Amino acid sequence: MNTLLRNELVVLALVLIWIPGYAQLDPATDLQHAEMKSASRQQLIQTLETRETGSNFDIHYDRMDWTIDPAVNFIRGTVTTHFTALATLDRLAFDFNSGMTIDSIRYHGIRLNNYEQSEAQTLEIGLPGMITSGQPDSISISYHGVPTGGGFGYWVQSNHQGTPIIWTLSEPYGASSWWPCKQDLSDKIDSMDILVTTPNAYRVASNGLLMEVTPVSDTMSRHHWQTHYPIASYLVALGITDYAAYSDYVPVPGGDDIEVLNYVYPENLNSAINQTSQVVPVMQLYNELFGLYPFALEKYGHAQFGWGGGMEHQTMTFAYNFSFLLVSHELAHQWFGDKVTCGSWQDIWLNEGFATYCEGLCYEHGLGTQDWQQWLTGKIGSVTNAPGGSVFVTDTSSVNRIFDGRLTYNKGAMLLHMLRWKLGDEAFFGGIRAYLNDPELAYGFARTDNLKQHLEATSGQDLTDFFQQWYYGEGYPSYHISWDQSSDLLHLTVAQSTSSVATAFFSMPLQILLHGIDRDTMVIIQHAFSGQEFAIPLDFTVTGMDIDPNHWLISANNTVTQQTSALQIDPEKTAIRIFPNPVTSILYFTTPGISGLTYTISDVAGKQMKQGALPGSTLYSVPVTELPQGFYVLRIAFSNVVLSQKFIKVN
């Protein structure tokens, strides 16, 4: 078997740069994860982004004090909210379940009776006086009731092997089903104290650090969690059952170890201990790629719950099991979704696309058991399983569309992979770190344009067309290459069709692996338009080629066709003679007297400048006055033969 000699070259049409030294995951798991994540929350379909609840005040701090027994489907407690008015106001509005019973609302020690619970799931409170813009203030709401949410909704009471459990899962529109909040993507709560009184047999899993567990009676204890990192309302969570607890630790060079606190069902303790340790090398990889774990002063953790997936609650992921896919995906959300949260459900790919791509990065770096290239082919196969659909979410009233596995998760992940291919690792990962550390975005919210701007800044490239085609656009390309080789020159014509009429063309660099008898060579062409032609100098005979062999692009149904080489034609019958060369106004050329000839004139980038049909004559003239000065290629085609000749246009 011959040893393959590999070289890599980048082809910018006819301008060539040589680079020396180039020598299936089934997507069902991810799709199932996404489908469960959407189906479990379809009960509250509403577009809260368009509501103005709480838009006139900014929350700084919440103190939650609840009493919850997981054996009883019920919550009682008080939420005290500290805020600053953003405008002069005499009313406050919270998103809140209208089925809850209000026990009292207190403001400056005064009990308020002027409030209204609406069917729109809001609580509007009339204040006894005006609050001026910029004024800090606070209000306490005491309530009780049975939170809505259903079997796999936002608040669930269930059991594991007969032991009761209550857990919450609020993304995207469910926090208000169990506590009064601002359920938006514009205001994070700067800090929180979460106090839960529950029977002594149970532990409480929640956000931040466990400060203390204090007995309040012979049978009840109060669990006090505290976080000082800004948090979106949908990332606040509770899990209450007879958890067994243990910790893993992630070493940090030059710093303190990061605790990973695990709350698991006692019956799963032994298997969980073996699985949760997978998080250690994964966090080390993410620390290296994206910067230190963003909540390092508190903790990371896992809490087991009854829904068959995972949810990236800030500092403590809730998970059904601890498979490598779930562990790697949910941990990635602490950077992408929790530290920087999508500023609109239209941009949910900033959460889910990134977390999905991080799964692949783990495989690329040798973590887990999945092959990296197989993972990529699985994602491409998922995306190309249907012809349309954009990563951009056009209908945020549909939770199923927000969490669409094919588009939000897999196409979002491949969009990032293509950006990495287009920009290179240094600019791509540098742009991601700049995005995560932008003081306007870190521990806040971001839109897709924010990411685009950071990637443009690190790469120096304009990404407008890329996002128009791949983010807002729909579908994917199919590449169709026809080729022939004459002497030491390989001719390629690269056409493109698209799966959706919504996007006419996808402009991307394209890898092509050229096969020879005793060597392979990788070329990279900058595909700018369909029908673009390329001429590549080669010192070996090509026997075949593969399109995108390393799976950098979303594409499918690609074809390669070899044309009859001009080398197989009698050169006396196929000679082209051009004069004058250089030319200023009229280009003359001679060809064999064969009917059915066509000609094209292309510039060095492969852009077609002129074309036409030729009668069966031997002498032709073509006006070229309008062409800018430069190098051009004249091509004459008949049957399966393509003849070419270079010329220079001067003024």
Domain with 23 in it: what CATH number?
1.10.390.10
Residues 399 and 530 grouped into a single domain:
yes
* Residue 271 counted as domain residue: no
Q: What is the mean pLDDT of residues 286-301?
A: 99
Q: Decide if pLDDT at 618 tops 80.
A: no
Give yes or no: residues 62 and 31 share one domain. Answer: no
pTM of the model: 0.83
What angle, 0 to 180 degrees and rounded to 10, lies between the N-to-C axes of helices 425-437 and 448-459?
130
Share of the chain above pLDDT 90, in %: 75
| Burial class of 500 by CB neighbour count within 10 A (0 to 12, 13 to 18, 19+) | middle
Q: What is the pLDDT of residue 294?
A: 99
Asked, for residue 194, whether it belongs to a domain, the answer is yes
**CA 567 – CA 73 distance, rounded (Å):** 82
Task: Indicate whether 229 belongs to any domain.
Answer: yes
Statement: residue 276 has pLDDT above 70: yes
pLDDT in tens, 323-360: 999 999 999 999 999 999 999 999 999 999 999 999 99
Does 388 have pLDDT greater than 80? yes
Considering the domain architecture, whether residues 344 and 362 belong to the same structural domain is answered as yes
pLDDT tens digits, one per residue of 61-101: 999 999 999 999 999 999 999 999 999 999 999 999 999 99
Q: What is the mean pLDDT of the chain?
A: 89
pLDDT, tens digit (0-9, with 9 covering 90-100), for 593-604:
566 678 889 876
**All residues at 6 or more sequence positions from 121 whose CB lies less than 8 Å from its CB, including other chains:** 44, 46, 95, 96, 97, 98, 176
Same domain, 501 and 446: yes
Same domain, 28 and 87: no
Residue 558, in any domain of the structure: yes
Based on the fold, state whether residues 478 and 377 are members of the same structural domain. yes
Domain boundary among the residues 563, 593, 615 is at: 563
Q: What domain range is 548 assigned to?
A: 1-39+335-563
Q: Please determine, for residue 312, whether its predicted confidence score (pLDDT) is greater than 90.
A: yes
- Give the whole-angstrom CA distance, residue 153 versus residue 579: 78
Both 233 and 377 in one domain: the answer is no
Query: Are 17 and 55 in the same domain?
Result: no
pLDDT digits 0-9 by tens, 158-177: 999 999 999 999 999 899 99
Quick one: 576 and 559 in the same domain? Answer: no
* 424 and 536 co-located in one domain: yes
Inside any domain, residue 512: yes
Q: Assign residue 140 the CATH number of its domain.
A: 2.60.40.1730
Residue 253 within any structural domain of the chain? no
Structure tokens belonging to residue 541: 């005979």
Rg (CA), the chain: 31
Question: Given 529, 563, 597, which residue is the final one in a domain?
Answer: 563
pLDDT at residue 46 greater than cutoff 80: no
> Does 258 reside within a domain?
no
| Largest pairwise CA distance in the chain | 107
Residue 11 has pLDDT above 90, yes or no: no
pLDDT, residue 4, reads 34
Q: What is the pLDDT of residue 566?
A: 41
Contact 517, 506 (CB under 8 A): no
Do 160 and 80 fall into the same domain? yes
Of 216, 240, 264, the position where a domain reaches its end is 240
State how far the Cα of 491 lies from the Cα of 483, in Å rounded to an integer. 5
The total number of structural domains that make up the chain: 3
| Residue 26, H or E segment | none
The helix (run of H) or strand (run of E) holding residue 287 is helix 279-290
- CATH number, domain of 630, equals 2.60.40.1930
> Is 303 among the domain residues?
no
Does 532 lie in the same domain as 384?
yes
Cα→Cα distances 641→237, 434, 573, 593, 598, Å? 69, 52, 12, 14, 11
**Residue 19, pLDDT score:** 25
Better-predicted residue by pLDDT, 491 or 13:
491
